[in-house]
Amino acid sequence: MLTCAASPRYERSDDFPYGAPPGAVAETLAALDGDRWAFFHGLAQGVCASDPGPGVVEGLASIFKQTGPLVGDALAELATLDQRQRMAELDVPVLNVVGGKDAIVDPGIGRAAMEFLRKGRLCEFPECGHAPFLEAFPRYRDELLHFLADVE
């Protein structure tokens, strides 16, 4: 199951027109290095397309702030990540959830992933951002349970 995933690629390339512009990961890392707490708070504010309320934003920011010192190394991998071949090799059902208003991962990435997933099922939440499980939990849960019921 993928939920608003940066797969198969996060940054655009000559042969993949979706995602963040080249260099976006470097800008993210610079922001993280500049003011880690402000970065995580801003990220938390951008997770949902609708206003989840201050408690949710503060809760997300608190979780993000618990990341270790190597979070930058993990994020840096997004600049060169390319899982198109690996996705094409998968021979298992994959539920691919996309937030239509995702401000963190371009929804086009998730839509494009479907051309590589042989047994993929796209489930788009047009009004949600990066966390449909927060913004539309009942439907998210139902889609997941429906998918699991169909898996052989």
The first and second tokens of residue 57, run together, are 């934003």
Residue 69 binned pLDDT confidence (cut-offs 50, 70, 90): confident
Mean pLDDT for the chain overall: 96
Assess contact for 81 and 24: CB atoms under 8 A: no
Write down the pLDDT at residue 132: 98
- Is residue 114 left, alpha or beta, with left meaning phi > 0 and alpha meaning psi from -120 to 50? alpha
Q: What is the arithmetic mean of pLDDT over 112-133?
A: 98
Sole residue written with tokens 């539309």: 136
Strand partners, 95: 121
The first and second tokens of residue 106, run together, are 């371009």
DSSP per residue over 34-78, as a string?
Answer: H-HHHHHHHHHHHS-SS---HHHHHHHHHHHTT--TTHHHHHHGG
> Residue 13: pLDDT above 80?
yes
Among 138, 90, 143, residue whose Cα is nearest residue 117: 90
107-119 confidence digits (pLDDT tens):
999 999 999 999 9
> Residue 76: pLDDT above 80?
yes
DSSP per residue over 105-150, as a string?
Answer: S-HHHHHHHTTT-TTEEEEEETT--S-HHHHSHHHHHHHHHHHHHH
**Angle (CA) 52 46 137, round 5°:** 40
Write down the pLDDT at residue 40: 95
Domains of the chain as residue ranges with CATH = 2-150 (3.40.50.1820)
The first and second tokens of residue 64, run together, are 């993000």
